[in-house]
Amino acid sequence: MSCRSCGRDLTPVLPLIRRLAGLEIRINELEQKEARQALALPAPTTPPVEIDAAASPRADGRRSFPALFIGFVALIAGYWLIVIWLDLPLSVLRFLSIALPFVVGALYFGPRARLTWFDVCVAVVFACASVAAMNALLGWIDSIPMTPQGTAAWRETFFYALSIGASMFSGMILRVLQKALSAHGLTSIPRLRQSILAMNGKVPMDMLKAIELTILGVSAVLSALTGIVFGFLGIGR
């Protein structure tokens, strides 16, 4: 075997040429094998995204926002039925304005009840929206101004909204108190417990629980009394 250009003998390089050809065949076989393995592997799946329970109020099932909507609609419907359609005594409206928000507040919390400032704001917004909707409904039907006229009317509206908010808040506290009594070591008021532990990190768990239950019990009683008293003061027409 010789070169066509120079005529030199190429016999000594034949083993090298054969070895290179064998390596090329082996590389092709390895590439085909890897291609078959890639086709046989399942498609990569995206790992599930973990949701931080602390970042979302509804992530851990603690709150039931549909209960707020249903309670709001029921309260406005009851107001229309009692005041406008049937013209029942105001004592019926007082009872409805105290009992219904209380039930809504109790149903608002789920199995893992924890009271925060967000829940206080929810009660305030619910009360203000309910009173505003009632005034708007009455003003639209009777063709009168939808906003209170005069100091006495504003005071009456404020007391009425306060009674609704206090009744709803007392329902929330009762629900949290019930869960705190049924679950040992449950953090029902996280900010309170963090503040106490920040001042004295060696406070026993039993003492923390006693402080928490005392505050919840007193708050429930005061909120219920506030709702009842201002419910009677806030409905004068």
Mean per-residue pLDDT for 75-81? 93
Cβ 121 vs Cβ 152: under 8 Å = no
Does 69 score more than 90 pLDDT? yes
Query: Pick from 86, 108, 222, 237: which is nearest to 162 by CA?
Result: 222
Integer Cα distance of 173 and 189 in angstroms:
10
Does 168 score more than 80 pLDDT? yes
Mean per-residue pLDDT for 181-198? 60
Mean per-residue pLDDT for 155-180? 84
Residue 70 pLDDT: 94
Mean per-residue pLDDT for 31-50? 58
Name the 3-class secondary structure at 2.
strand
Handedness of CA 90, 96, 99, 104 (dihedral sign): negative
Query: Pick from 223, 69, 224, 237: which is nearest to 153 by CA?
Result: 237
Choice between 169 and 17, residue whose per-residue pLDDT is larger:
169
The string of pLDDT tens digits covering residues 92-148 is 888 888 889 989 988 998 776 777 889 989 999 999 999 999 999 989 988 888 888
Mean per-residue pLDDT for 72-87? 91
Does this model's pTM top 0.75? My answer is no
Mean per-residue pLDDT for 23-44? 70
Residue 122 pLDDT: 93
